Structures are given as structure tokens and as C-alpha cells.
Amino acid sequence: LLGQEALTSYEMHGWRWAAGKSPEMGDYTGNTVEVASNDLDTEPVTVTASRLAGAHRLDRRFRDFNDQAVVASYLVHQAEDYKRKTDAKALAAIIAAGTATAPGTVPAGIAKGLAAIVDGALGVIATENRPAYSLVSPELWRDIILTPKDDVLAFLNAGFGLEEGDVAGFRIQPAAVGTGKVITAAKEALTFYELGETPIRIEGVAPGNGADDVAVFGYWATLTNNAAAIRTVTVAP
């Protein structure tokens, strides 16, 4: 759901245009009239990596008898756990960055969650970004998923004011965003960073214990690019 970039350093330094200080154009009449210009400014941006790690000591008999099933399963489970935990980190970043948006009136016969998606999407569109996904609390998701698919698409097409093909790639999925809440956002609103080879596998021998130490390490970071393009709507009770 998010923009993704590679971590190339534990602490990455960059810059971005300051709010309201990015380059803009204006009407121009020609005939040597001065071209429009606006104030420009930048601000520094620092992305610092966070870490995940797990390690265990395994009996070296698995190595001595070339029994790789246990070690292989161990690494698979650690990699899957890394994926689950980084998904949770990404979700937490989305929730923390969200801009509260007031819900509108819910039309008769329309699920509250669907109306909240449209309210959030309109907020994203107002920032001149394209809504890419909505994360919906499970109890609202149930009402949406029980609505006929064609009705859902028709309502979103009309509500977003976009072409039909634009809504086709829009993703709606349940998530633990909080009871009665819907978050709708643009993909470029938040970037998730990971190290290229994640998780990293490290092994060492502990001869005094007749064991192999196996550890995995992962690195991740998030950067909010545009909080206004992440909209949180709480439906009325």
C-alpha cells in the first residue's frame, strides 16, 4: 500500500520542499512580461532506522547429522514473523500520521464504512493526490463486504468523481485501525524503508555448549511525506 525505498544507511539525510514553498507556475501573457515566481524554501529530513532481531541457540546435532529441516523451518518462521511485525509497524505509522476528517451524512441503504471511505477519499483528492487504499475497522468491513460488489464500485465511482478505471485499482481491506474508523490515503503519502537483504541471517558456533547460535536482524523506517493525504474518518455511532 505504501511507497517503498531501500535503506542505504542507518541514518539517512535528505531534504524536501517546505510546506507552501515548492515551485509553482502562474498565468503568463508573454510579450516580455515578467514570469510569475513564488517563494521557495527547503527543509532537512532525517530517516533513522529501527531494528528487529531474534536469536536462539540450537543443538549442533542438526549440523553434525546434516539435518537441515529444523534450521530451515526456524529461518522460515523468523522471516514470516519479520513480515508480520513490519506490517504492524507500517500500520502504526499510517494511524499515527492520519489527519482527522469529519464524516458526512450517510445516504439511506449505504454502509457507514463506504460513506466514510468516500469522505476520506475526497479529503485526499483535495490535496491533489489520488486515493489508493482504505483500511477499515473489522466491524465496518463486514457491512461493506456484504454489499454487492457492483453497488460498491458504483458508489465509489460516483463518490470519488473519478473515471471508472481509476477506482478499479483502489484497495479496501480490514485492519486494526480502531473501532468505527476508516483510513483512506494516497500511496505516496508515506514511505516505508527496508534494508535490501532483510532479515539478515547470522550464525556462530558455541563449542563449549555444543550449539550453534542462529540470529536474524531486520531494519526498517518510515517517513511521512504528506499527512494531509492520509485521512482518518470516525463514523457516527
User: Hey, is 111 helix, strand or coil?
Assistant: coil
Q: What one-character DSSP code corresponds to residue 35?
A: P
CB 227 within 8 A of CB 98: yes
pLDDT tens string 162-217: 545 456 678 899 999 999 999 999 999 999 999 987 789 888 999 999 999 999 99
pLDDT score for 37: 96
Residue range 142-167: average pLDDT? 73
* C-alpha to C-alpha distance for 146 and 171, rounded to whole angstroms: 16
- The pLDDT assigned to 114 comes to 92
The DSSP H or E segment spanning 172 is strand 171-174
Residue 103 pLDDT grade (very low, low, confident, very high; cuts 50, 70, 90) = very high
Whether 138 has a pLDDT exceeding 70, the answer reads: yes
Query: Residue 4 — pLDDT band, cuts 50, 70, 90?
Result: very high
Burial 114-152 (b: 16+ CB within 10 A, else e): bbbbbbbbbbbbebebbbbbbbbbeebbeebeeeeeeeb
